[in-house]
Structure 1
Amino acid sequence: MKLLIHGRNLDVTPALREYTETKLERAIHHFDDLVKEADVHLSVARNPRVPQQTAEVTVFANGTVIRAQERSENLYASIDLVASKLARQLRRFKERHSDHGHRTTPTAANDVLLTERPTEDSLLEGKEAQLPSPGIRRKYFAMPAMSLEEARHQLEMIDHDFYLFRDKESGELQVIYHRNHGGFGVIQARN
Protein backbone atom coordinates (compact mmCIF):
# COMPACT_ATOMS: atom_id res chain seq x y z
CA MET A 1 0.00 0.00 0.00
CA LYS A 2 1.23 3.47 -0.91
CA LEU A 3 1.02 5.80 2.11
CA LEU A 4 1.51 9.59 1.83
CA ILE A 5 1.75 11.64 5.05
CA HIS A 6 1.55 15.44 4.98
CA GLY A 7 1.80 17.93 7.82
CA ARG A 8 0.03 21.30 8.01
CA ASN A 9 1.42 23.77 10.58
CA LEU A 10 3.71 21.06 11.96
CA ASP A 11 6.79 19.06 11.04
CA VAL A 12 6.16 15.36 10.54
CA THR A 13 8.85 13.85 12.74
CA PRO A 14 10.11 10.30 12.17
CA ALA A 15 8.35 9.21 15.39
CA LEU A 16 5.05 10.74 14.26
CA ARG A 17 5.43 9.20 10.80
CA GLU A 18 6.15 5.75 12.28
CA TYR A 19 3.20 5.99 14.70
CA THR A 20 0.85 7.00 11.88
CA GLU A 21 2.09 4.21 9.59
CA THR A 22 1.74 1.60 12.36
CA LYS A 23 -1.81 2.64 13.30
CA LEU A 24 -3.03 2.82 9.69
CA GLU A 25 -1.42 -0.47 8.71
CA ARG A 26 -3.22 -2.15 11.63
CA ALA A 27 -6.51 -0.55 10.61
CA ILE A 28 -6.13 -1.52 6.95
CA HIS A 29 -4.34 -4.89 7.14
CA HIS A 30 -7.60 -6.88 6.76
CA PHE A 31 -8.39 -4.88 3.62
CA ASP A 32 -5.03 -5.07 1.78
CA ASP A 33 -6.78 -6.46 -1.29
CA LEU A 34 -9.01 -3.34 -1.47
CA VAL A 35 -6.73 -0.48 -0.46
CA LYS A 36 -3.94 0.54 -2.81
CA GLU A 37 -3.26 4.10 -1.63
CA ALA A 38 -3.84 6.23 1.45
CA ASP A 39 -3.32 9.97 1.85
CA VAL A 40 -2.90 11.33 5.41
CA HIS A 41 -3.07 14.99 6.42
CA LEU A 42 -2.03 15.86 9.97
CA SER A 43 -2.63 19.42 11.11
CA VAL A 44 -2.44 21.64 14.17
CA ALA A 45 -4.65 24.71 14.64
CA ARG A 46 -2.72 27.96 14.29
CA ASN A 47 -4.53 29.55 17.21
CA PRO A 48 -2.82 28.40 20.43
CA ARG A 49 -6.03 29.05 22.39
CA VAL A 50 -7.79 26.37 20.34
CA PRO A 51 -5.95 23.11 21.04
CA GLN A 52 -7.31 21.36 17.97
CA GLN A 53 -5.20 18.75 16.24
CA THR A 54 -6.65 16.97 13.23
CA ALA A 55 -5.92 13.70 11.47
CA GLU A 56 -7.59 13.23 8.08
CA VAL A 57 -7.22 10.08 5.98
CA THR A 58 -8.38 9.53 2.41
CA VAL A 59 -8.23 5.95 1.14
CA PHE A 60 -8.70 4.81 -2.44
CA ALA A 61 -10.37 1.38 -2.36
CA ASN A 62 -11.23 -0.22 -5.71
CA GLY A 63 -12.15 3.10 -7.29
CA THR A 64 -14.10 4.35 -4.27
CA VAL A 65 -12.91 7.19 -2.06
CA ILE A 66 -13.30 6.56 1.67
CA ARG A 67 -12.51 9.48 3.96
CA ALA A 68 -12.26 9.80 7.73
CA GLN A 69 -11.40 12.81 9.88
CA GLU A 70 -11.03 13.22 13.63
CA ARG A 71 -10.05 16.13 15.90
CA SER A 72 -8.85 16.20 19.48
CA GLU A 73 -6.45 18.06 21.76
CA ASN A 74 -3.72 15.48 21.12
CA LEU A 75 -2.48 14.54 17.63
CA TYR A 76 -1.74 10.95 18.66
CA ALA A 77 -5.29 10.59 19.99
CA SER A 78 -6.62 11.99 16.70
CA ILE A 79 -4.59 9.40 14.79
CA ASP A 80 -6.00 6.61 17.00
CA LEU A 81 -9.56 7.84 16.49
CA VAL A 82 -9.24 8.22 12.73
CA ALA A 83 -7.65 4.77 12.37
CA SER A 84 -10.54 3.06 14.19
CA LYS A 85 -13.09 5.10 12.23
CA LEU A 86 -11.40 4.13 8.96
CA ALA A 87 -11.40 0.44 9.94
CA ARG A 88 -15.17 0.62 10.59
CA GLN A 89 -15.80 2.32 7.25
CA LEU A 90 -13.68 -0.22 5.36
CA ARG A 91 -15.47 -3.10 7.11
CA ARG A 92 -18.83 -1.62 6.10
CA PHE A 93 -17.59 -1.08 2.54
CA LYS A 94 -16.33 -4.67 2.26
CA GLU A 95 -19.56 -6.13 3.70
CA ARG A 96 -21.62 -4.10 1.26
CA HIS A 97 -19.52 -5.15 -1.71
CA SER A 98 -19.01 -8.78 -0.80
CA ASP A 99 -20.06 -10.95 -3.70
CA HIS A 100 -23.38 -12.65 -3.04
CA GLY A 101 -23.85 -13.60 -6.68
CA HIS A 102 -26.51 -10.95 -7.36
CA ARG A 103 -24.52 -7.71 -7.35
CA THR A 104 -21.96 -6.32 -9.71
CA THR A 105 -19.03 -4.35 -8.37
CA PRO A 106 -18.98 -0.62 -9.02
CA THR A 107 -15.67 -0.90 -10.87
CA ALA A 108 -17.18 -3.32 -13.38
CA ALA A 109 -20.07 -0.91 -13.94
CA ASN A 110 -17.61 1.94 -14.43
CA ASP A 111 -15.66 -0.06 -17.03
CA VAL A 112 -18.87 -0.71 -18.97
CA LEU A 113 -19.76 2.97 -18.94
CA LEU A 114 -16.32 3.96 -20.13
CA THR A 115 -16.30 1.51 -23.00
CA GLU A 116 -19.83 2.33 -24.15
CA ARG A 117 -19.42 6.11 -24.26
CA PRO A 118 -15.84 7.24 -24.94
CA THR A 119 -15.11 10.95 -24.67
CA GLU A 120 -14.76 12.43 -28.12
CA ASP A 121 -14.17 16.08 -27.25
CA SER A 122 -11.15 17.36 -25.39
CA LEU A 123 -11.93 18.84 -21.99
CA LEU A 124 -9.07 21.32 -22.41
CA GLU A 125 -9.67 22.44 -25.98
CA GLY A 126 -10.20 26.19 -26.26
CA LYS A 127 -9.49 26.75 -22.58
CA GLU A 128 -6.60 28.64 -21.08
CA ALA A 129 -4.95 27.68 -17.81
CA GLN A 130 -5.52 30.22 -15.06
CA LEU A 131 -5.31 30.32 -11.31
CA PRO A 132 -8.60 30.22 -9.41
CA SER A 133 -9.55 33.23 -7.37
CA PRO A 134 -8.38 33.15 -3.75
CA GLY A 135 -10.44 30.99 -1.46
CA ILE A 136 -11.90 28.80 -4.21
CA ARG A 137 -10.65 25.27 -4.66
CA ARG A 138 -11.79 23.25 -7.64
CA LYS A 139 -12.06 19.47 -7.71
CA TYR A 140 -12.59 17.31 -10.76
CA PHE A 141 -13.65 13.69 -10.57
CA ALA A 142 -15.37 11.01 -12.60
CA MET A 143 -19.09 10.89 -11.96
CA PRO A 144 -20.61 7.57 -13.03
CA ALA A 145 -24.40 7.35 -12.89
CA MET A 146 -25.76 5.74 -9.72
CA SER A 147 -28.98 5.14 -7.89
CA LEU A 148 -30.06 7.19 -4.88
CA GLU A 149 -29.24 4.27 -2.57
CA GLU A 150 -25.70 4.00 -4.00
CA ALA A 151 -25.24 7.76 -3.53
CA ARG A 152 -26.36 7.45 0.11
CA HIS A 153 -23.73 4.76 0.70
CA GLN A 154 -21.07 6.97 -0.93
CA LEU A 155 -22.10 9.85 1.35
CA GLU A 156 -21.54 7.63 4.38
CA MET A 157 -18.13 6.53 3.06
CA ILE A 158 -16.67 10.00 2.45
CA ASP A 159 -17.71 11.49 5.82
CA HIS A 160 -18.97 14.79 4.33
CA ASP A 161 -22.28 16.59 4.82
CA PHE A 162 -23.31 16.24 1.16
CA TYR A 163 -22.52 14.24 -2.00
CA LEU A 164 -23.02 15.30 -5.62
CA PHE A 165 -23.97 12.49 -8.01
CA ARG A 166 -25.45 11.79 -11.45
CA ASP A 167 -28.83 10.03 -11.20
CA LYS A 168 -28.93 6.69 -13.02
CA GLU A 169 -32.51 7.14 -14.27
CA SER A 170 -32.59 10.80 -15.32
CA GLY A 171 -28.88 11.45 -15.94
CA GLU A 172 -29.19 14.75 -14.05
CA LEU A 173 -26.92 15.99 -11.27
CA GLN A 174 -28.38 15.77 -7.77
CA VAL A 175 -27.13 16.39 -4.24
CA ILE A 176 -27.84 14.12 -1.30
CA TYR A 177 -27.19 15.53 2.17
CA HIS A 178 -27.50 14.77 5.89
CA ARG A 179 -30.50 16.57 7.42
CA ASN A 180 -29.95 18.31 10.76
CA HIS A 181 -32.69 16.30 12.51
CA GLY A 182 -31.68 12.94 11.04
CA GLY A 183 -32.22 11.25 7.73
CA PHE A 184 -31.24 12.44 4.28
CA GLY A 185 -32.43 15.03 1.78
CA VAL A 186 -32.02 15.30 -1.99
CA ILE A 187 -31.69 18.49 -4.00
CA GLN A 188 -32.84 18.27 -7.63
CA ALA A 189 -33.10 20.88 -10.38
CA ARG A 190 -36.66 21.78 -11.34
CA ASN A 191 -37.48 21.54 -15.06
Structure 2
Amino acid sequence: MKLVIQGKNIEITDSIREYVNQKIEKAVNHFQNMTTEVDVHLSVARNPRINTKQTAEVTIYANKTVIRAQESSEDLYASIDLVADKIQRQLRKYKEKQQKKTQTQPKTGAVIHEAPVVEDLIGDRTPELPTEVVRMKYFAMPPMTIEEATEQLQLVDHDFYMFRNAKTDEINVIYERNHGGYGVIQPRNGNGHTNHTNGKTAQNVEAVTDTSTVS
Protein backbone atom coordinates (compact mmCIF):
# COMPACT_ATOMS: atom_id res chain seq x y z
CA MET A 1 0.00 0.00 0.00
CA LYS A 2 1.38 3.39 -1.05
CA LEU A 3 1.01 6.21 1.50
CA VAL A 4 1.55 9.82 0.39
CA ILE A 5 1.56 12.66 2.94
CA GLN A 6 1.40 16.31 1.86
CA GLY A 7 1.09 19.55 3.79
CA LYS A 8 -0.08 23.11 3.21
CA ASN A 9 1.03 25.92 5.53
CA ILE A 10 2.56 23.25 7.74
CA GLU A 11 5.85 21.38 7.95
CA ILE A 12 5.47 17.60 7.89
CA THR A 13 7.81 16.68 10.74
CA ASP A 14 8.97 13.17 11.55
CA SER A 15 6.59 13.01 14.52
CA ILE A 16 3.62 14.05 12.38
CA ARG A 17 4.57 11.56 9.67
CA GLU A 18 4.94 8.76 12.22
CA TYR A 19 1.57 9.60 13.80
CA VAL A 20 -0.19 9.64 10.42
CA ASN A 21 1.39 6.31 9.48
CA GLN A 22 0.31 4.76 12.76
CA LYS A 23 -3.30 5.98 12.57
CA ILE A 24 -3.87 5.36 8.86
CA GLU A 25 -2.30 1.90 8.89
CA LYS A 26 -4.55 0.96 11.79
CA ALA A 27 -7.61 2.36 9.98
CA VAL A 28 -6.97 0.39 6.76
CA ASN A 29 -5.47 -2.68 8.41
CA HIS A 30 -8.43 -4.94 7.56
CA PHE A 31 -8.86 -3.45 4.08
CA GLN A 32 -5.31 -3.55 2.69
CA ASN A 33 -6.22 -6.26 0.19
CA MET A 34 -8.40 -3.78 -1.69
CA THR A 35 -6.42 -0.57 -0.99
CA THR A 36 -3.78 0.49 -3.51
CA GLU A 37 -2.93 4.05 -2.44
CA VAL A 38 -3.68 6.42 0.43
CA ASP A 39 -3.17 10.18 0.06
CA VAL A 40 -3.13 12.30 3.20
CA HIS A 41 -3.36 16.10 2.94
CA LEU A 42 -2.74 18.15 6.08
CA SER A 43 -3.39 21.89 6.09
CA VAL A 44 -3.60 24.85 8.44
CA ALA A 45 -5.92 27.77 7.65
CA ARG A 46 -4.80 30.84 9.58
CA ASN A 47 -7.33 33.60 10.19
CA PRO A 48 -6.56 36.24 12.83
CA ARG A 49 -10.27 36.68 13.61
CA ILE A 50 -10.94 33.01 14.42
CA ASN A 51 -9.11 30.08 15.96
CA THR A 52 -6.62 28.28 13.76
CA LYS A 53 -8.32 25.56 11.73
CA GLN A 54 -6.25 22.43 11.19
CA THR A 55 -7.57 19.96 8.63
CA ALA A 56 -6.74 16.35 7.80
CA GLU A 57 -8.05 14.93 4.51
CA VAL A 58 -7.62 11.30 3.47
CA THR A 59 -8.26 9.94 -0.02
CA ILE A 60 -8.12 6.18 -0.58
CA TYR A 61 -8.01 4.43 -3.93
CA ALA A 62 -9.61 1.01 -3.52
CA ASN A 63 -10.51 -1.29 -6.40
CA LYS A 64 -10.88 1.64 -8.82
CA THR A 65 -13.09 3.40 -6.27
CA VAL A 66 -12.25 6.69 -4.53
CA ILE A 67 -13.10 6.93 -0.83
CA ARG A 68 -12.55 10.26 0.90
CA ALA A 69 -12.96 11.75 4.37
CA GLN A 70 -12.08 15.12 5.90
CA GLU A 71 -12.09 16.46 9.45
CA SER A 72 -11.04 19.77 11.03
CA SER A 73 -10.37 20.98 14.56
CA GLU A 74 -8.09 23.32 16.48
CA ASP A 75 -5.56 20.52 16.97
CA LEU A 76 -3.90 18.68 14.07
CA TYR A 77 -3.49 15.41 15.95
CA ALA A 78 -7.17 15.47 16.92
CA SER A 79 -8.08 16.04 13.25
CA ILE A 80 -5.96 13.04 12.26
CA ASP A 81 -7.71 10.89 14.87
CA LEU A 82 -11.15 11.98 13.64
CA VAL A 83 -10.42 11.44 9.96
CA ALA A 84 -8.83 8.03 10.62
CA ASP A 85 -11.99 6.88 12.41
CA LYS A 86 -14.19 8.29 9.65
CA ILE A 87 -12.25 6.70 6.78
CA GLN A 88 -12.36 3.36 8.59
CA ARG A 89 -16.16 3.60 8.76
CA GLN A 90 -16.28 4.53 5.07
CA LEU A 91 -14.11 1.53 4.15
CA ARG A 92 -16.24 -0.83 6.25
CA LYS A 93 -19.39 0.50 4.61
CA TYR A 94 -17.89 0.05 1.13
CA LYS A 95 -16.69 -3.49 1.88
CA GLU A 96 -20.10 -4.51 3.25
CA LYS A 97 -21.79 -3.23 0.09
CA GLN A 98 -19.34 -5.14 -2.09
CA GLN A 99 -19.94 -8.34 -0.13
CA LYS A 100 -23.71 -7.89 -0.36
CA LYS A 101 -23.45 -7.50 -4.13
CA THR A 102 -21.58 -10.79 -4.47
CA GLN A 103 -23.96 -12.66 -2.15
CA THR A 104 -27.27 -11.53 -3.64
CA GLN A 105 -28.57 -10.76 -7.09
CA PRO A 106 -28.84 -7.01 -7.65
CA LYS A 107 -32.35 -5.65 -7.81
CA THR A 108 -33.49 -3.47 -10.70
CA GLY A 109 -36.57 -1.70 -9.30
CA ALA A 110 -35.14 1.80 -9.03
CA VAL A 111 -37.69 4.61 -9.18
CA ILE A 112 -36.35 7.82 -10.72
CA HIS A 113 -38.44 10.98 -10.81
CA GLU A 114 -37.42 13.46 -13.48
CA ALA A 115 -37.84 17.22 -13.39
CA PRO A 116 -36.60 20.04 -15.65
CA VAL A 117 -33.73 22.15 -14.41
CA VAL A 118 -34.30 25.84 -13.70
CA GLU A 119 -33.41 27.83 -16.82
CA ASP A 120 -31.69 30.67 -14.94
CA LEU A 121 -29.57 29.33 -12.11
CA ILE A 122 -27.82 32.57 -11.11
CA GLY A 123 -30.60 35.18 -11.48
CA ASP A 124 -29.25 38.72 -11.47
CA ARG A 125 -25.99 37.72 -9.88
CA THR A 126 -22.70 38.10 -11.73
CA PRO A 127 -20.74 34.84 -11.97
CA GLU A 128 -17.27 35.12 -10.48
CA LEU A 129 -14.32 32.75 -10.53
CA PRO A 130 -11.56 32.53 -7.89
CA THR A 131 -8.62 34.79 -8.59
CA GLU A 132 -6.37 31.73 -8.72
CA VAL A 133 -6.66 27.97 -8.82
CA VAL A 134 -5.51 26.73 -5.43
CA ARG A 135 -5.75 23.00 -6.04
CA MET A 136 -6.28 20.59 -8.92
CA LYS A 137 -7.37 16.95 -8.79
CA TYR A 138 -7.32 14.29 -11.48
CA PHE A 139 -9.52 11.20 -11.44
CA ALA A 140 -10.27 8.44 -13.91
CA MET A 141 -13.85 8.54 -15.20
CA PRO A 142 -14.99 5.04 -16.16
CA PRO A 143 -18.60 4.92 -17.39
CA MET A 144 -21.13 4.25 -14.62
CA THR A 145 -24.86 4.28 -13.99
CA ILE A 146 -26.64 6.91 -11.89
CA GLU A 147 -27.01 4.35 -9.09
CA GLU A 148 -23.25 3.69 -9.11
CA ALA A 149 -22.54 7.43 -9.15
CA THR A 150 -24.82 7.83 -6.11
CA GLU A 151 -22.70 5.26 -4.27
CA GLN A 152 -19.54 7.15 -5.19
CA LEU A 153 -21.05 10.43 -3.98
CA GLN A 154 -21.68 8.86 -0.58
CA LEU A 155 -18.10 7.56 -0.41
CA VAL A 156 -16.21 10.75 -1.34
CA ASP A 157 -17.86 12.88 1.38
CA HIS A 158 -18.68 15.73 -1.01
CA ASP A 159 -21.92 17.54 -1.91
CA PHE A 160 -21.51 16.56 -5.58
CA TYR A 161 -19.79 13.99 -7.80
CA MET A 162 -18.84 14.24 -11.47
CA PHE A 163 -19.03 11.07 -13.58
CA ARG A 164 -19.33 9.72 -17.12
CA ASN A 165 -22.87 8.47 -17.72
CA ALA A 166 -22.73 4.90 -19.06
CA LYS A 167 -25.99 5.40 -20.99
CA THR A 168 -25.11 8.63 -22.79
CA ASP A 169 -21.27 8.66 -22.50
CA GLU A 170 -21.56 12.30 -21.35
CA ILE A 171 -20.11 13.98 -18.28
CA ASN A 172 -22.83 14.40 -15.62
CA VAL A 173 -22.85 15.79 -12.08
CA ILE A 174 -24.89 14.22 -9.29
CA TYR A 175 -25.51 16.32 -6.18
CA GLU A 176 -27.39 16.28 -2.88
CA ARG A 177 -30.58 18.35 -2.95
CA ASN A 178 -31.30 20.70 -0.03
CA HIS A 179 -34.71 19.14 0.54
CA GLY A 180 -33.57 15.53 0.26
CA GLY A 181 -32.78 13.12 -2.56
CA TYR A 182 -30.31 13.67 -5.36
CA GLY A 183 -30.23 15.65 -8.58
CA VAL A 184 -28.33 14.98 -11.81
CA ILE A 185 -27.07 17.78 -14.08
CA GLN A 186 -26.65 16.86 -17.74
CA PRO A 187 -25.24 18.87 -20.67
CA ARG A 188 -27.56 19.93 -23.47
CA ASN A 189 -26.95 20.38 -27.18
CA GLY A 190 -27.68 23.32 -29.46
CA ASN A 191 -31.39 22.43 -29.56
CA GLY A 192 -31.72 23.10 -25.85
CA HIS A 193 -32.08 19.42 -25.02
CA THR A 194 -29.82 16.68 -23.80
CA ASN A 195 -28.74 13.90 -26.13
CA HIS A 196 -30.86 11.59 -23.98
CA THR A 197 -34.22 10.70 -25.47
CA ASN A 198 -36.25 12.12 -22.59
CA GLY A 199 -35.20 15.69 -23.46
CA LYS A 200 -34.75 16.66 -19.82
CA THR A 201 -31.76 18.49 -18.39
CA ALA A 202 -31.84 17.14 -14.87
CA GLN A 203 -33.04 14.20 -12.84
CA ASN A 204 -34.04 13.98 -9.20
CA VAL A 205 -33.25 10.60 -7.69
CA GLU A 206 -35.64 10.73 -4.75
CA ALA A 207 -36.82 7.14 -4.23
CA VAL A 208 -34.67 4.07 -4.73
CA THR A 209 -35.95 0.61 -3.96
CA ASP A 210 -32.59 -1.04 -4.59
CA THR A 211 -31.20 -1.00 -1.06
CA SER A 212 -28.28 -3.13 -2.13
CA THR A 213 -26.78 -0.29 -4.17
CA VAL A 214 -27.93 2.95 -2.57
CA SER A 215 -28.45 3.46 1.14
Would you call these one fold, judging by a TM-score over 0.5?
yes
CA distance in 2, matches of 1:51, 1:158: 25
1:57-136 to 2 correspondence within 5 Å?
A: 57-98=58-99, 99-100=102-103, 102=105, 134-135=132-133
1:1-191 to 2 correspondence within 5 Å?
A: 1-48=1-48, 49-98=50-99, 99-100=102-103, 102=105, 134-135=132-133, 139-190=137-188, 191=193
Larger relative contact order, structure 1 or 2 (CA cutoff 8 Å, min sep 6)? 2
Distance change >3 Å, CA 101–CA 67, structure 1 → 2:
same
CA distance in 2, matches of 1:138, 1:181: 30
Runs of 4+ residues deviating >4 angstroms: 136-140
Partner of 2:116: none
User: Post-superposition shift, 1:100?
Assistant: 2.0
Distance change >3 Å, CA 75–CA 139, structure 1 → 2:
closer
Q: Gapped runs of 5+ residues in structure 2? A: 107-130, 194-215
Distance change >3 Å, CA 14–CA 140, structure 1 → 2:
closer
User: Post-superposition shift, 1:61?
Assistant: 0.6
1:98-128 CA-partner distances (Å, limit 9, x unpaired): 222647xxxxxxxxxxxxxxxxxxxxxxxxx
Which residue type is aligned with residue 67 of structure 2? I
User: Post-superposition shift, 1:158?
Assistant: 1.1
Partner of 1:127: none
User: Post-superposition shift, 1:159?
Assistant: 1.2
User: May I ask how many residue pairs the two structures share in their alignment?
Assistant: 162
SS of the equivalent of 2:10 reads coil
SS of the equivalent of 1:154 reads helix
CA distance in 2, matches of 1:45, 1:84: 22
**TM-score, length of structure 2 as denominator length:** 0.69
**TM-score, length of structure 1 as denominator length:** 0.77
Partner of 1:118: none
CA distance in 1, matches of 2:51, 2:180: 29
Q: Higher helix proportion, which one?
A: 1
SS of the equivalent of 1:163 reads strand
CA distance in 1, matches of 2:97, 2:30: 15
Q: Share of identical aligned residues, percent?
A: 57
User: Post-superposition shift, 1:138?
Assistant: 5.0
Over aligned residues, Cα RMSD in angstroms?
1.9
